[in-house]
Amino acid sequence: MIEIKQLAKKFKVENPKKLSEQEKKDPRLKGRFFHSVQNVNFICDTGQVLGLLGPNGAGKTTTLRMLSSALKPDSGSILIDGVDVLANPIVARQKIGFLSGSTGLYGRLSGRENIEYFGKLHGMSKSAIQQKIEELAQLLDLYSFLDRRCENYSTGMKQRVSIARAVVHSPKVVVLDEPTTGLDIMATQTVLEFIRTLKKQQIPVIFSTHHLDEVNELCDTVTVIDEGETKYNGDLHSFRALSNGSLHNSFMTSIEKG
């Protein structure tokens, strides 16, 4: 289970002149600081898939980066299976599998070596890594290209190896930051299939997306963030009920209400 409470993060503005017009108008800009995330809360239970929605610049990536311990929040708490990520970042990192749409691979290493490297960084034994790679290769159909250099992979191949790499250490939670952005339909399908597999294994998944059809297809609960604050928390059913039209309307309603 993942529990996020009153998460907040501000960034220092180095050069206010460089900000875009939109950023200058943003109410989160206070003096020399841009309060990117101000108050984000959500809970994701075992076996649940949580869809994180919000317009561009709402603070989704910052939130997920804090969750994955790449960024340190200014205040608030993050608990993963009861472990405080802020107090034990290294322990927490072992419990998280993280993947974003822009994740890359080391081009001069083969897919297998990429996965092995992260397995080793997670302190896994050689045999355990081999076993896990076998398992993942079957699940994600990696066999045909696993031992070729990544620089020649297609987008879909890259994404499949990235997925394998993200879960090589059997994480307790999987966090996906816009995992389907920029992918073609086939590659997107691979990612969605993978999320379903995780769900079957009772592993909680948190993923941010702009595609409401993905939310409709996969999510149990929905969290909407806008201007760094949680505007909506609830299950998919009640999210749909926010307006009697499409999920798009529900999304708009949730932002306007908040």
Partner 1 sequence: MWLVFQKEIKELLRDRKTLFFMVALPLLLFPLIFGGVAYFSGKAIEKAQSRVLTYAIIGGEYAPTLTTKITESEGLKRYVTKVQSDNVSAITNLVKSEKVDFVLVIPNTFNDDILKIGQNKLTLYLNDAGLNMVQRRLNKIIDNLAESNRDKAFISLGIAEEIQQGLLEPIVIDKISTADKREDLGEKIGGLIPYMIFILCLQGAMLPATDIGAGEKERGTLETLLISPISRNQLVLGKFFTIAFAGVTSAMVTVGSLFVWGVLLSQGMAIELITEFMGAISALDFVLMFAMLIPVVAIFSAVLLSMSIYAKSFKEAQGYMTPLVFIVIIPIILAMLPGIKLEGIYAWVPLMNVALAIKELIKGTMDYMALIPIFLSTTAIAGLLLTFCIYWFNREKVLFR
The contact set with partner 1 (CB under 8 A) reads 11-12, 14, 65, 68-72, 90-91, 93-94, 96, 98, 100, 102-109, 113, 117-118, 120-123, 149, 165-166
Distance CA 258, CA 252 (A): 10
Residue tagged 């998280």 (tokens) = 96
Residue pair 254/239 in contact (Cβ under 8 Å)? The answer is yes
Nearer to partner 1, 73 or 236 (CB): 73
What's the token pair of residue 219? 């999510």
What's the token pair of residue 211? 């595609």
Greatest Cα pair distance in the chain: 55
As measured in angstroms, the least distance from the Cβ of 22 to partner 1 is 19
As measured in angstroms, the least distance from the Cβ of 122 to partner 1 is 6
Residue tagged 């108008």 (tokens) = 25
Nearer to partner 1, 82 or 256 (CB): 82
As measured in angstroms, the least distance from the Cβ of 138 to partner 1 is 23
As measured in angstroms, the least distance from the Cβ of 90 to partner 1 is 5
Nearer to partner 1, 104 or 245 (CB): 104
Nearer to partner 1, 148 or 248 (CB): 148
As measured in angstroms, the least distance from the Cβ of 50 to partner 1 is 19
Q: Give which of 177, 155, 152 is closest to 66, Cα–Cα.
A: 177
Query: 215: buried, middle or exposed (CB in 10 Å: 19+, 13-18, 0-12)?
Result: buried
What's the token pair of residue 115? 């996965």
Nearer to partner 1, 117 or 139 (CB): 117
Pairing of strands 83-84, 75-80: antiparallel
Nearer to partner 1, 56 or 244 (CB): 56
As measured in angstroms, the least distance from the Cβ of 166 to partner 1 is 8
